[in-house]
């Protein structure tokens, strides 16, 4: 039925906008969590897990629900057209992440310079830290946040789509490799589990 198709189309669009915004706010949660770990002396030992959940999953609802209501009232007859969430909404978590990213790099640089004798390759370590923080914080989003689909044409549009899809698709994989599978503690635990499994079998 036409009304069911229209309803399904609207629901899919709302879900897509929520997921896009949730993705950006989970980047922010990751940035805040890492910043808290590095600047731990400033914070109390309180568990912020619930706050992170509210920030990551709840904040997008605050923006998507009014957007959905405004869209419904304005475009009552339109099922698929219309703009998505505005650039400032997507830009807000990216800008905060960029500020946290710069602050963390400053802290890392200060620590590496303080131990410069111990780390002769501190510039290389800083570069490595920078590159590993980019996918974790979603800094790649800042590059194309202002280049909307309406503004990009031709080859620039293809470049934007390729990088956006590639980095967004593999962001979780990159974070898992860099922060889990490449971690010494994780590798030693996996080695223990593997040895225990071999003994049992």
What's the full length of the chain, in residues? 201
Mean pLDDT throughout 33-57?
A: 74
Q: What is the pLDDT of residue 200?
A: 84
pLDDT for 169 beyond 70: yes
Q: What is the pTM of this model?
A: 0.66
Q: What is the pLDDT of residue 143?
A: 67
| Pairwise CA distance, residues 123 & 50, whole Å | 37
Mean pLDDT throughout 166-170?
A: 74
Mean pLDDT throughout 47-56?
A: 84
pLDDT per residue over 101-121, tens digit each? 888 888 877 777 777 665 556
Q: What is the pLDDT of residue 158?
A: 81
Q: Which residue has the higher pLDDT, 6 or 33?
A: 33
Q: Which residue has the higher pLDDT, 34 or 75?
A: 34
Mean pLDDT taken over the chain: 75
pLDDT per residue over 12-27, tens digit each? 888 888 888 888 888 8
Mean pLDDT throughout 143-152?
A: 66
Which 8-state DSSP code applies to residue 83?
-
| Pairwise CA distance, residues 21 & 61, whole Å | 9
Q: What is the pLDDT of residue 122?
A: 60
> What dihedral do alpha carbons 158, 78, 57, 183 form, nearest 10°?
-20
CA 173 to chain centre: 12
| Pairwise CA distance, residues 68 & 48, whole Å | 30
pLDDT for 128 beyond 60: yes
The per-residue DSSP string of 30-76 comes to: HHHHHHHHHTGGGS-S---HHHHHIIIIIHHHHHHHHHHHHHHHH-T
């Amino acid at each position: 039925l036409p009304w069911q198709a229209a309803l399904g189309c609207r629901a899919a669009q709302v879900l897509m906008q929520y997921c896009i915004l949730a993705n950006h706010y989970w980047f922010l949660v990751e940035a805040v969590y890492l910043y808290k770990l590095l600047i731990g002396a400033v914070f109390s030992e309180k568990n912020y897990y619930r706050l992170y959940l509210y920030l990551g999953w709840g904040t997008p609802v605050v923006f998507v629900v009014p957007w959905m209501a405004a869209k419904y009232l304005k475009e009552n007859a339109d099922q698929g057209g219309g703009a998505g969430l505005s650039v400032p909404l997507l830009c807000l978590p990216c800008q905060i992440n960029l500020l946290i990213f710069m602050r963390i790099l400053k802290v890392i640089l200060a620590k590496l310079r303080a131990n410069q004798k111990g780390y002769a390759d501190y510039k290389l370590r800083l570069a490595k830290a920078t590159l590993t923080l980019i996918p974790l914080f979603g800094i790649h989003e800042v590059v194309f946040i202002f280049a909307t689909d309406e503004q990009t044409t031709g080859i620039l549009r293809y470049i934007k789509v390729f990088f956006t899809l590639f980095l967004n698709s593999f962001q979780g994989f990159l974070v898992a490799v860099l922060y889990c599978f490449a971690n010494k503690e994780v590798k030693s635990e996996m080695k223990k589990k593997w040895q225990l499994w071999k003994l049992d079998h």
